[in-house]
Chain A
Amino acid sequence: MSVAAAGTPAPAPAAAPAARRRTAGGTVERFTLPAVFIFTIVLFSVLKPAVFPTATNFIAIVQQNLPLLVLVGGICVVLSLREFDLSFGFIAGASGALAVQSMVLWQMPWGLAVLIGIALGTLLGAVNGILVAYTRLPSFIGTLATGATIQGVMLAISNQTIFSGIDPDYINITSASVGGFPIVIIVVAVLLVAVGFLLRSTVFGRHASAIGDNPVAARIAGVNVKRTQLLSFMLVGACAGFAGILLTSQSGQYYPDPGSSLLLPAFAAAYLSLSLGRGWRFNVGGAVLGALFLAVVSTGVTMLNQPSWLAQLLQGLILLIAILALNRRRGTR
């Protein structure tokens, strides 16, 4: 895993000029992605001046990708611990399924259904956290296993697509707007700012980042590694639960496995955030920008009436180039 290798303590370079060179190179790379992002927007705006550079289009892009953005916020937290969570797509699916079923089968009010969905996500995240922190299961394979298990639970909760019986207010969560601006965007923005603050500025986030840098040294320094791991996985679980609610609310129905297609873009966005931060740091702001960048590319390609495989191909290439650039930076340190 490239992430696992990232924290391996590099031998201390003795020469100061090398350090300066690295800083300068890092600065160039930090602004490469935003520059490419702006270039892409300008390019699509020139090619499709009538439809692309409009407020409606940008709001639509953000709105469509809200579940992804919520997931990206959570995944940044575990990645900064140098752990993986491959189960969050399935947690989102299971949470969405339970929320919908609690309204359809048990006639619960939509507010309670939302809470139940998020609670299930948090609980499943806690299971992951306990396995990783207290039984020392490697998180990569461990969450792959719990993910498969959760997928089974999800299909048991609801093994078919559900169209009817969903409270219209539940669908309103994602469609209600004030003066054409969806309220849910504000909710998600507040959530992401909070997660970003948690990761960047609190004792919890500083400890998480210390663990990601050198887990052994963090433990010896008195950081509660296990608790931090547990809380991080719970946080991802809660985010996934919320994302599951958003997915089912957006589509106005429940369909099996709604979250699995978000796995790749969420990790891609989180890794793009590395090229925007100082040093090797996952950051929520950069990840959100990365997710929107990928979304803009696919929307733009669609607007230009290009085939959808081109969007996929471009997204893959963008991620590959960003990671290669990072590797080069790490190689020089």
Chain B
Amino acid sequence: MTAWLRAEGLTKRFNLVTAIGDADLALEPGEVRGVVGPNGAGKSTLMQMLAGIHTVDDGELLIDDVAVRFRAPEDALDAGIALVPQEMQLAPHLSVAGNIVLGREPRRRGMVSESRSRQSAERALGRLGAGIDPSAPIHTLSAVERRLVMVARALVSDARLVILDEPTAALAPHEATAILSMVRTLAETGVSFLYVSHRFDDIEAIADSVTGVRDARVIADLARTEITRPRLVELVTPVDHVSHRVAPAREAVAAGSRDILVVTDLVAGPLQGVSVNVCAGEIVGVAGLAGSGVDELMWAVAGIDARRSGTVVVEDAPLRSGDRLHAVKAGIAYVPGDRSLATLPSHDVRSNISVASLLDVSVAGVPVARREQSRVAKLAERVHLAAPLGMALSSLSGGNQQKAIFARWMATDARVLLLHDPTAGVDVGARAEIHQRVRELAAEGNAVLVVSTDLPELIELADRILVLDRGSVADELVGSAITEPAVLAAMTSGVPSISQTALKESA
């Protein structure tokens, strides 16, 4: 068989930054190609170019040896390429059939034909081998059934290529199996797949070939026989020139140091009884794949989301569940990488820094401008923030925005620092500076808990790393045991998943 789709030298630039450059890709009918790489490597941009969401800056896309140019996602759909994004929205109160034909409703005399909608939905679901009632409203469906409906949507438009972005990220292992068998079934009918995933179990179970993407380039094209765990691990490990591990100058945390943050048997979202202690001066890292519960751990400890059970105690004071105000008063700072959770974009730098500590500079509920200014200026200097304080925060670079958020929490008397991907979207120079601030804050006797998808960051910062897998602590690494292969291994194979077992049985 020969490839029906070829991408040659595809390039996409945003402003002057190349998101993906010179990418080659070929797909045969019925081929399932895994796409693997670290966050921000350019996988999504490449997929979005194929699906017509981004226009191609350079390079060529050939379908059946004819060059095509997509101006909009509709063009890609017409050419038989459908993208199922990780965060796809379905209309929750429409029926399954209504969602599947949405936007391409079969018409009869200008009216939507209910019966024909239902027929084409049934046909698409049948091809998937999914026993879902087409008339059921979407909100009654499970996560895995919704995912199948998304794929059925692609099939209605007669897709020859379905791009799945992290289709099993939020699913339990047995649910993931349903997605994998669906992919297999469809691939046998000649539909090609691009399967973007961080889950190596999935890739090993179904991929016929693997494309590795890193640092905005395609760095590997593996055939079926070359897909092994070590090769895959190698693909996602960033070669990092700047943030290589600096020999930590600080002494190890004194044994018997006081616990500042004590989390016991936390149950929230996918978390099933997670316990973490962080003592004064300690930096504890938490690693885990999407869906492992690392995000929910942060949100529950920060008081942003409620927990179902378990306790969170800061300096012997228990915190109320889901009460962010109480958590702030107890001294829990939260620095997210997702800056839409932290910034006041149209406020100036000064207000962004002082918003959490306005009462401290106030007399009778009125902030004293002079006191606020001197305090903010001092903090801006401490975090090495060079931007003018009167500038709107949204006009600052990501790194400077992040420094301002650090300064905000330094203005409060925070004892616990929760860092959630603290350097996401930050350039390397700012990243090193932010890491230095984190070490300083820990050295002052604060407790620091870091969650990061950026493994070198965790390894560089943390004294101790907990690895979460499917809602429980799978492993704990301390000191010299903290290495990238060790953390990755614990993240990806803490518990053998069903799909992997199934593969071994079939082999």
Contact = CB atoms under 8 A, between A and B. Distances in A.
Contacts of A12: 345, 394-398, 401
B299 to A, nearest CB: 10
A9 B302 contact: no
Residue picked from A11, A209, A222, most chain B C-beta under 10 Å: A222
Interface in A210-248: 210, 213-214, 216-224
Given A204-B365, A213-B344, A221 B408 contact: yes
Contacts of B362: 203
A187 B396 CA distance: 44
A67 B367 CA distance: 31
Interface string B485-501: 00000000000000000
A200 to B, nearest CB: 10
B341 interface: yes
A207 B358 contact: yes
A7 interface: yes
Interface residues of A, number: 32
Nearest to B343: A217
Contacts of A56: none
B334 interface: yes
Interface string A9-53: 111111010110000000000000000000000000000000000
Contacts of A14: 15, 397
A267 interface: no
A213 to B, nearest CB: 4
Nearest to A13: B395
Interface in B362-396: 362, 365-367, 391-392, 394-396
A201 interface: yes
A201 B366 contact: yes
A203 B358 contact: yes
Given A14-B397, A220-B304, A214 B392 contact: no
B329 interface: yes
Nearest to B401: A12
B356 interface: yes
A161 B70 CA distance: 68
Given A210-B351, A222-B324, A217 B395 contact: no
Contacts of A222: 324-325, 328-329, 356, 412
A280 interface: yes
Contact of B395 (A19, A204, A207): A19
A279 interface: yes
B391 A220 contact: no
Contact of B342 (A10, A201, A220, A280): A220
B359 A9 contact: no
B309 interface: no
Instruction: Kindly name the residue among B336, B355, B359, B396 whose own CB sees the greatest number of chain A CB atoms within 10 A.
Output: B355
A204 B365 CA distance: 7
Contacts, number: 95
A223 B396 contact: no
B367 A203 contact: yes
A9 B394 contact: yes
Contacts of B324: 219-220, 222
A16 B302 CA distance: 35
A220 B405 CA distance: 11
A220 B341 contact: yes
Nearest to A204: B365
A210 B15 contact: no
A206 B342 contact: no
B257 interface: no
Interface string B318-354: 0000001100110000101001111111110001000
Contacts of B342: 217, 220-221
Interface string A268-285: 000000000001100000
B366 A203 contact: yes
A13 B394 contact: yes
B355 A221 contact: yes
A204 B364 CA distance: 11
A222 B303 CA distance: 10
B339 A224 contact: no
A333 interface: yes
By CB atoms of chain A within 10 A, which of B325, B362, B396 has the most? B325
A202 interface: yes
A229 B345 CA distance: 20
B351 to A, nearest CB: 7
A209 B358 CA distance: 13
20 contacts: A9-B345, A11-B394, A12-B395, A14-B397, A19-B392, A206-B351, A207-B358, A214-B340, A217-B341, A217-B344, A219-B304, A220-B302, A220-B334, A220-B341, A220-B342, A221-B328, A222-B329, A222-B412, A223-B355, A223-B356
**Cβ-closest 3 pairs across A and B:** A222-B328, A213-B344, A19-B395
Given A13-B395, A279-B346, 5 more contacts: A9-B339, A14-B15, A203-B365, A220-B304, A223-B356
Interface of A: 7, 9-14, 16, 18-19, 201-204, 206-207, 209-210, 213-214, 216-224, 279-280, 333
Interface of B: 15, 302, 304, 324-325, 328-329, 334, 336, 339-347, 351, 355-356, 358-359, 362, 365-367, 391-392, 394-398, 401, 408, 412
